[in-house]
Structure 1
Amino acid sequence: MKLEGLLCSKLQCQFSFVSLRKLWKVLRLLLCVVLSVQVFQYCKKMVPDVPFEKDINICRKRFAWRSPILGRFEPDWKPFLTSRELFWQSYTPAKRQLNDLLRFHVLPFGLNGSVLLAFHTLQLLPQQEMPESIERLQCRRCIVVGNSYSIRGRGFGAMIDSHNIVIRLNNAPVKEHKEDVGERTSIRLFFPESALPNPLDNNDNETLMVLIPFKSLDFIWVREMLLKTENQTVEGFWRKPPSEWKWNASRLRILHPYITYQATYELLQLEKKCKKYSTTGIIALNLALHICHELSIVGFGYPDRHDNTTPVHYYDTEHLSQEVFVTHNLTAEQAWLMKMRERGMISDLMHPSAWSWGP
C-alpha cells in the first residue's frame, strides 16, 4: 500500500508539473498579447496628428484644468443641435437645464416657437454630430481667426494653417488674403445674412459649415437652400441672404443655442435686461473652448469708436458702425478676452495688440 501510494503521489506530481508548465505557457502568451496591445495603443496615441505636434499630454492637461473654470455640462452633451435632443426628456439637473433653455427661451438662446422648424431642418442633415475627422484627433490645437483689419499685412498665414483646426467667421474671404489669414478652413460659423453665395470659393471641400440660428427665418432659409425650392423667403432679414447656396448637407451643422447663451450670459456676464448678445467671434471662441484642447486667436479687435479712417475688416473698407454698440458690448468682450489671455486659457498671436476694442 505504501509503495502504491508513493507511486500515485509521484505520478500526481508529474501531472501537476506538466499542467503548471502548460498553464505558464498560456499565461505567458496572454501576457505577450496584452503587452502588445498596450504598446500598440500607446504608440498610436503618441503618433502626432500634424508634424508640429510634440507633447499630447501637455495638450490634455491644459484642457483639463480649463474645464472647471468655464463649467461644462455632462460628457454626452454636444455643441451641435440634434433631432434627438429636441425631444430629449431627462431628470438629471444638467439635461433638465438644457431642456428648459430650449423650451422657454426664444432664439437666439432657445427654440421656443421654433422647435418644429428646427426639427424639419435637421431632418435634411444626414449627419448632425461632430465629424469623425475632428473627433478622432488626440490633441486639438485650434485657432479662431477674427476679421479685424489689424491682421492685414502681418503675414500670419502659414502659422494659422499649421493648426489642427482653423475656425473662421461669417463671410471672411481667404483666397486673396492667404498670406495674412491662411487658406485652410476647418469650421466656419455663419448665419444667412453672412453666408457666402458660393462657399467653395473660400472654403475647403471638408469645411464644416456651422449655422448660428438667430431667428426662425434662419431655419427656413437653410431648408430652401438645401431643397432648392422656387418660392424663397426674402422678407425679415436685416440684409438679403444669398438666393442660392451650394453646399453639401453632410458638411452642415446647426449650433446649439446654449453656445450663444453661455457666451453672452456666462462668459461675458451681460445683463439680460440690456438685450445684447455676443459677437460671432466670441460665440466661435466658446465653441472652440468646448471642443479644443489648446486655443489661439488672431485678428480680434476693433478700431477706436471715434476712428473714422481705419476699416473694421481686413477684406473691405467698411468703418465701425454705431449699431454694433447697440447690439453688442465690445467693452465686456475686450475685458473677457484679456482675462482669458492672462490666465493662459487663450494665446493671442498678435499680443500685445494696440487695438483699443480688442485683445
Structure 2
Amino acid sequence: MKPNCKFLLGLCSMLALGFLYYSSGRLTLRGWGHKSCKDLNTVHLLNLLSPHSRPLELIYKYGNLSKGACKPGFAAAKMTAIYPKFTKPAPMFLDPNFKQFSKIGDYFPPFGIKSQEKILDILLLATKSYGLGEELDNCKRCIIIGNGGILSNKSLGQRIDEFDVVARLNEAPVKGFEKDVGSKTTMRITYPEGAIQKTERYESQSLFVLSAFKALDLRWLQHMVFSQSLRSTEGFWKSVAKHVPREPGDMRILNPYFIQEASFKLIGLPHNNGQMGRGNIPTLGAVAITMALHNCDEVAVAGFGYNMSTPHAPLHYYEKIRMSAIKESWTHNISKEKEFLLKLVKAGVIQDLTGGICSAGC
C-alpha cells in the first residue's frame, strides 16, 4: 500500500504543478498603461524550472494546440531559455508615462530619451494613441518583413498576410510585389532618411512608427505630426520625407529601449558610454525583431540575411542593386548581428520563412 500512496501523492503533485503552469499562461499582466502580452507569467514560471526541463514543459503547454493556433507566450518562453534575463515587459511605443520607464531615462538617443522629454510630451499629447488597437490586445502572431532580395519569387504573400501583425521597414514598397511580400501592413517602422518620400506610395491604412536614432529625428517628426513645412534638412545624412500622409493618431514613437537592448544585451555591441559610436548601432531589422519578442506571442521573419557568396544576387527585392554593393558600415556590425539572428533561429525563438539567416547552415 505504501508504494501506491507515494505514487498517488506524486501524481497529484504533478497534476497540481501542471495546472499552475497552464494557468500562468492565461493570466494577464498589465504594465506601463498597456494591456500586456500573456507571455510574461509563462516566462517567470519558466525561470523557476531547470533549463533542462524547459523543452518538456513547452511541449506540455503547446503540444495540444490545433494547427495554426496562436501559442500564448511562446516566443518569450523560448527567448528566456537562451537569454535568462529576458523577462521584463517593454511596451512597443512611448506613451505619456514614458518617464516611469527608467531604463531609457539615463541615455541620449538612440538608446534613450534623455534631454528629449519636452518634445516627447508635445508629440504624445498630439498623437493621443499609443498602442496597436484593442483588436490586437490578445495573442499575436507577428512577422517582420526585411527588404532582402531573397523575398523575390518565393510567393509568400498570402502566408505573410495571415499574420496578425505585419511590420515593414523603411520605404520597402508593397504595390506591385504583393505575390512575394503580401499586401497587409500593420505598421511601417522607419527613421527620417528611410521614410517613403512619395506620398502616393503609402498604404491606405497602417501605423507610421518612428525609430529615433538622433534628437533631430524627433524634431522631424514634430513637423510631420503638425504638417509643418520642413525648412532645412541639415543634419540628416541624406534626403528625408517632407510630408507623411498620416493623421497624428496613426503615428507612434518606437520605444528606444529596443535599440538599447538589442545593442548592448543581445548582440553584444560596444557600450561606448551609452553614446552612438562605431559599430554599436543595431540595424532597424534587429530592433524590430527585439520589439516583437517583447510584445508578440509568436515571431517570424522574412527577407533577412545577406549571402556574400552570391555577389550578383539582388540586394533588395524591389531594385536592381547587387549584393556586392554592401560596404562596411560605420554604425552597424553585420557579422555580430548575423550571429545573434542565427542564434534565435537555431533556438526556435523566431521562424525564418525565407531561410536567409541560415544560408550558411543551421
Instruction: Give TM-score scaled by structure 2 length.
Output: 0.73
Structure 2 CA distance for partners of 1:286 and 1:231, relative to 1, 3 Å: closer
More helix by share: 1
Cα distance in 2 between the residues matched to 1:291 and 1:343: 19
RMSD (Å) for aligned C-alpha atoms: 2.7
- 1:124 paired residue number: 126
- 1:110 paired residue number: 112
Matched residue SS, 1:113: coil
- Structure possessing the higher radius of gyration over alpha carbons: 1
The answer on whether the counterparts of 1:199 and 1:247 sit within 8 Å (CA) in structure 2 is no
Letter in 2 for 1:62: F
Cα distance in 1 between the residues matched to 2:313 and 2:67: 41
- 1:4 paired residue number: none
Matched residue SS, 1:129: coil
Cα distance in 2 between the residues matched to 1:114 and 1:141: 33
Structure 2 CA distance for partners of 1:341 and 1:354, relative to 1, 3 Å: closer
The offset of 1:82, in angstroms, is 1.7
Residue 102 (structure 2) pairs with residue 62 (structure 1): no
The answer on whether the counterparts of 2:262 and 2:286 sit within 8 Å (CA) in structure 1 is yes
The offset of 1:167, in angstroms, is 1.2
Letter in 2 for 1:114: Q
- 2:159 paired residue number: 159
The answer on whether the counterparts of 2:195 and 2:240 sit within 8 Å (CA) in structure 1 is yes
Ranges in structure 1 where 5+ consecutive residues have no aligned partner: 1-40, 42-52, 89-94
Q: Residues 32-111 of structure 1: matches in 2 within 5 Å?
A: 54=66, 59-60=71-72, 62-63=74-75, 65-66=77-78, 68-69=80-81, 70=83, 71-72=85-86, 74-75=88-89, 77-86=90-99, 88=100, 95-96=101-102, 98=103, 101-102=104-105, 104-111=106-113
Residue 339 (structure 2) pairs with residue 327 (structure 1): no
Cα distance in 2 between the residues matched to 1:72 and 1:145: 23
Cα distance in 2 between the residues matched to 1:231 and 1:167: 27
- 2:234 paired residue number: 235
Residue 150 (structure 2) pairs with residue 150 (structure 1): yes
The answer on whether the counterparts of 1:221 and 1:233 sit within 8 Å (CA) in structure 2 is no
Instruction: Give TM-score scaled by structure 1 length.
Output: 0.73
- 1:187 paired residue number: 187
Cα distance in 2 between the residues matched to 1:210 and 1:145: 15
1:200-243: CA deviations, max 9, x gaps?
A: 634241x1221100111111111112222235331111111111
Cα distance in 2 between the residues matched to 1:129 and 1:194: 23
Q: How many residues of Structure 1 are paired with residues of Structure 2 in the alignment?
A: 291
Letter in 1 for 2:321: E
The offset of 1:199, in angstroms, is 5.4
Tell me which of 299, 314, 325 is aligned to 1:295. 299
Letter in 1 for 2:299: L
Structure 2 CA distance for partners of 1:281 and 1:352, relative to 1, 3 Å: closer
Cα distance in 1 between the residues matched to 2:290 and 2:200: 26
Cα distance in 1 between the residues matched to 2:87 and 2:74: 18
Structure 2 CA distance for partners of 1:56 and 1:158, relative to 1, 3 Å: closer
The answer on whether the counterparts of 1:63 and 1:294 sit within 8 Å (CA) in structure 2 is yes
Structure 2 CA distance for partners of 1:167 and 1:230, relative to 1, 3 Å: closer
The answer on whether the counterparts of 1:175 and 1:202 sit within 8 Å (CA) in structure 2 is no
Cα distance in 2 between the residues matched to 1:143 and 1:161: 9
Cα distance in 1 between the residues matched to 2:333 and 2:254: 22
The offset of 1:163, in angstroms, is 1.2
Aligned-residue sequence identity (percent) comes to 28
Structure 2 CA distance for partners of 1:229 and 1:208, relative to 1, 3 Å: closer
The answer on whether the counterparts of 1:220 and 1:233 sit within 8 Å (CA) in structure 2 is no
The answer on whether the counterparts of 1:147 and 1:169 sit within 8 Å (CA) in structure 2 is yes
1:72-122: CA deviations, max 9, x gaps?
A: 4655x4221122223x3xxxxxx54x1xx32x3211001223222222222
The answer on whether the counterparts of 2:75 and 2:350 sit within 8 Å (CA) in structure 1 is no
1:163-182: CA deviations, max 9, x gaps?
A: 11111111100101111111
The answer on whether the counterparts of 1:146 and 1:297 sit within 8 Å (CA) in structure 2 is yes
- 1:140 paired residue number: 140
Tell me which of 301, 305, 315 is aligned to 1:312. 315
- 1:13 paired residue number: none
